[in-house]
Amino acid sequence: MAAGQGGKPAPPPPALTPPAQVGVNQQIRERLSGVKYRIIVLSGKGGVGKSTVTANLAATLAKMGYSVGVFDYDFHGPAMARMLGVLGAQLQAFPMGIFPVTGAAGVKVISLAFLLPDEKTPVIWRGPLKNKALQELMSNVIWGQLDFLLFDLPPGTGDEALNIAQNIPDVTGALVVTIPSVVSQVAVEKSAEFCKQLNVPLLGVIENMSYFRCPHCGEITEIFGSGAGEKIAEEEGIRLLGRLPLDPNVARCLDEGRPVPLCAPESETTRAFEELAKKLVEILEKGGEGGSG
Ligand SMILES: Nc1ncnc2c1ncn2[C@@H]1O[C@H](COP(=O)(O)OP(=O)(O)O)[C@@H](O)[C@H]1O
Ligand SMILES: [Mg+2]
């Protein structure tokens, strides 16, 4: 080490983990202390319906009587505010913290969209800033008592997924959303590997857009191929949590800010989400470990 002026040794470099960082981690832990299950929703690929699944699953769990929150951590396409009917809401900061906005079915929502002037504003933030925004929000949001907090992420296993895994204490597990096709199967394998590396339990795979049922004759067409979910379950030992139909109600309802369980309560999609939610609760109550079984 080079000596400083006057023969004195140079001062040591600043600590890599300044006390402020420890403070942030502790604050996040305290803010989340009333949250029972912290679940991240992942996908290796965009457009497979991750946000759709998050919004509908949140509303389904809320309808079953659970208290549910959603944290929308997709900087490039924050969708939760629109899908849960609270687009245009503003976050209000109080001395004691920030309260989430109450959306459809009573789901508590924090979305990056609340920080942007409008939906069209592009967000060009780099990794460290995204991490800072996550820490800033998570150390200030007052979630209160929640049974579930779902984290909606952008596609892939990039900065955001890593940030969540590293900043959120005691992540209960991850759900991986996919569509039945080979490319998607590879994406699931990647997500599974990611979970393993970060020590986040993989709760299971949700196969979205699995089939389309003709509204006239009831015949089923498997548009993106068949059996991928089962194949993944068999070959990778990852639990298939459910298969969701391709349903025109989905886009229509969510565009109106009403998740399917509220807007089309008798639909096949609503029933599929109810089954999925029940299965998830069962797994969590048993301990949630491992994606297989
Ligand atoms: N099961 C489904 N049936 C019909 N449309 C769907 C279904 N799931 C998703 N979509 C539509 O597909 C598009 C992409 O879904 P989205 O949830 O935004 O994907 P991601 O969050 O994975 O990028 C949206 O327009 C959504 O309405
Ligand atoms: Mg999305």
- Backbone dihedral region of 85: left (phi > 0), alpha (psi from -120 to 50 degrees) or beta? left
pLDDT higher than 80, residue 121: no
Angstrom distance (rounded) from CA 92 to CA 98: 6
pLDDT at residue 198 greater than cutoff 80: yes
Give the pLDDT confidence score for residue 49 in this predicted structure: 94
Answer whether 246 contacts ligand 1 (Cβ < 6 A): yes
Tell me the angle at which helices 127-138 and 159-167 cross, rounded to the nearest 10 degrees: 40
Q: Is the pLDDT of residue 5 over 50?
A: no
| Position 7 confidence tier, pLDDT thresholds 50, 70, 90 | low
Residue 12 has pLDDT above 60, yes or no: no
What mean pLDDT comes out for the span 218-234?
Answer: 81
| Ligand index nearest the alpha carbon of residue 250 | 1
Q: How far apart are CA 220 and CA 223, in angstroms?
A: 9
Q: Which residues of 178-216 are buried (b: 16+ CB within 10 A; e: fewer)?
A: bbbbeebbebbbbbbebbeebebbbbbbbbbbbbbeeee
Name the residue at shortest CA distance from atom 15 of ligand 1. Answer: 49
- The answer to whether the CB of 83 falls within 8 A of the CB of 254 is yes
Ligand 1 mean position, distance from CA 95 (Å) = 38
pLDDT score of 53: 98
Task: Reply yes or no on whether the pLDDT at 233 is more than 90.
Answer: no
pLDDT-derived band of residue 4, with 50, 70 and 90 as boundaries?
Answer: very low
Residue 140 and residue 172: Cα distance in Å, rounded?
Answer: 21
Residue of 48, 52, 253 to test ligand 1 pocket, by largest number of atoms within 8 Å of CB: 52
| Average pLDDT score over the chain | 88
Cβ(54) – ligand 1 distance below 6 Å: no
Q: Is the pLDDT reported for residue 230 higher than 80?
A: no
What is the maximum alpha-carbon separation in the chain? 91
Cβ of residue 250 lying under 6 Å from some atom of ligand 1:
yes
Tokens of 214: 């003709």
Residue 160 contacts residue 153 (beta carbons within 8 Å) = yes
Which domains, ranges and CATH numbers included, belong to the chain?
32-175+249-285 (3.40.50.300)
Quote the tokens at residue 228: 């991928």
* Ligand 1 midpoint to CA 49 (Å): 4
Q: pLDDT at residue 117 above 90?
A: no
Average pLDDT over residues 225-252: 86
Average pLDDT over residues 278-284: 97
Give this prediction's pTM.
0.90
Span 193-202, average pLDDT: 92
State the Cα torsion 22-160-41-210 to the nearest 10°: -170
Q: What is the pLDDT of residue 105?
A: 98
Look up tokens 């020590």; give the residue. Answer: 199
Name the residue with higher pLDDT: 14 or 196.
196
The percent of the chain in helix, strand and coil, each rounded to the nearest 5, is 40, 20, 40
Q: What percent of the chain has pLDDT over 70?
A: 90
Query: How confident is the model over 222-248, as a mean pLDDT?
Result: 84
User: If we measure between CA atoms, which residue out of 245, 232, 208 comes closest to residue 45?
Assistant: 208
Atom of ligand 1 minimally distant from the CA of 43: 22
Q: How many CB atoms lie within 10 A of CB 282?
A: 10
Average pLDDT over residues 46-64: 96
Which numbered atom of ligand 1 lies nearest the CA of 152?
A: 21
